[in-house]
Amino acid sequence: MTEREFRFQCRVWYLSQEASICNGCSRGCNMAVHFNTQRSYKADGRRVQRLKPRFNPLVNQWWMCDQGRFGYGFVDRDRIENPCLRMGGELQPRAWEEVLEEVATALRTTVEKFGPEGLGVIASPQQSNEELYLVRKLFQEQLGVAGIPFRNPWEDTGTEDGLLLRGDRNPNSRGAVDLGLQGDAERTLGDAAAGGVKVLYVFGHDFDSDRARELIRQAEYVVFQGANWNSTARMADAVLPGVTHMEKEGTFTNFEGRVQRFAQALPPLGESRPDLEILCDLAQRLGHALFYPEPEELFSEWRGRSYQDLGEFGEVLDSNGAGTG
């Protein structure tokens, strides 16, 4: 038997593969990304050709659910490929330098005039542990933002199959909690709509509800950082194109607390950049010396361990970073 989605799309011998983790739910199934970046005329230019389960006796054994196996369209579809600013009521592609400088100025001016209470930051459970750690480090520890939520209250809770698929459709909710992030986004959006939050910085979320859109519409200035166009991105004043998890490396923490590493399979699309690179650039423009060329440096600072220490199947780490199994 062959997969209909892959049949006649690309010869198997044209494919490369890399180890990754499924981002479709909080289980964190181990998988291999099969991709083609050398022959763009294949499969209408799609780089990801298929996903295959990768053995992990502690997480998914040899299996992978169909939603995870076939849920890779977002990697090559509806991507944000250029930084954008709203000009004349429309989002227009601009140079990275210009967009980052405008965002940095907005953040700096807001903190100077209104204090850190003027900033509202909403992280995403689709971000890696390393990215969430840097979000906390920049916005909470350096800029003084009191709390950073990460949950989308309008996101549907999915069904569970009792075997693999979890109701939480995010790969790193546990990681966000372990990093001290908490709460859902509605209060922050409400503060932005009421005028208390002057700059709203959203990572990745698609707040696809009438209530959320109405709140965002009333916000003074909205920054969106993420990989795909969605309703939130289209309402933003500044858009910073991030990458998907297949275009970077890092770790996710699954619902059982198992920290697992994923490798970079693909180069960033267009002018998109990893969140770590964007945030470090932004931090330096704000006068904060945060420089992490590799995500492993952040992981080591956070957990006191290397990626190699996690082993092939990941590891459950205690609060001190020691492995417990």
The topology (CATH level 3) of 12-75 is N-terminal domain of TfIIb (2.20.25)
Neighbours of 132 (CB within 10 A): 28
Rounded to two decimals, the pTM is 0.93
Contact assessment for residue 78 and residue 228, using Cβ atoms and an 8 Å cutoff: yes
Distance CA 52, CA 85 (A): 38
pLDDT digits (tens, 9 = 90+) for 261-308: 999 999 999 999 999 999 999 999 999 989 999 999 999 999 999 999
Position 35, amino acid: F
Tokens in use for 242?
């991030």
> Any residues with CB less than 8 A from the CB of 186 and at least 6 apart, and which?
153, 211, 212, 215
Task: Look at residue 8 in the predicted model and tell me its pLDDT.
Answer: 38
Tokens in use for 143?
């800029």
Sorted by where each begins, the domain ranges of the chain are 12-75, 84-316
Tokens in use for 88?
């004349």
Neighbours of 140 (CB within 10 A): 18
Q: What share of the chain is helix, strand, coil (3-state, %, to 5)?
A: 30, 20, 50
Chain centre to alpha carbon of residue 123: 8
Q: How far apart, in Å, are the Cα atoms of 223 and each of 39, 94, 177, 232, 237? A: 35, 14, 23, 9, 6
Question: Is domain 84-316 annotated with CATH 3.40.50.740?
Answer: yes
Task: Look at residue 247 in the predicted model and tell me its pLDDT.
Answer: 97
Low-confidence ranges of the chain (pLDDT < 50): 1, 7-8, 41-43
- Among residues 41, 34, 31, 40, which one has the least CA distance to residue 13? 34
Task: Look at residue 40 in the predicted model and tell me its pLDDT.
Answer: 60
Q: How far apart, in Å, are the Cα atoms of 299 and each of 106, 302, 308? A: 29, 5, 11
Q: Which residues of 176-211 are buried (b: 16+ CB within 10 A; e: fewer)?
A: bebbebeeebbebbebbbeeebbbbbbbbbbbeeee
Distance CA 270, CA 78 (A): 12
Tokens in use for 4?
């209909």
Distance CA 297, CA 319 (A): 18
Task: Look at residue 4 in the predicted model and tell me its pLDDT.
Answer: 56
Task: Look at residue 245 in the predicted model and tell me its pLDDT.
Answer: 97
Task: Look at residue 41 in the predicted model and tell me its pLDDT.
Answer: 45
Distance CA 15, CA 252 (A): 26
Position 321, amino acid: G
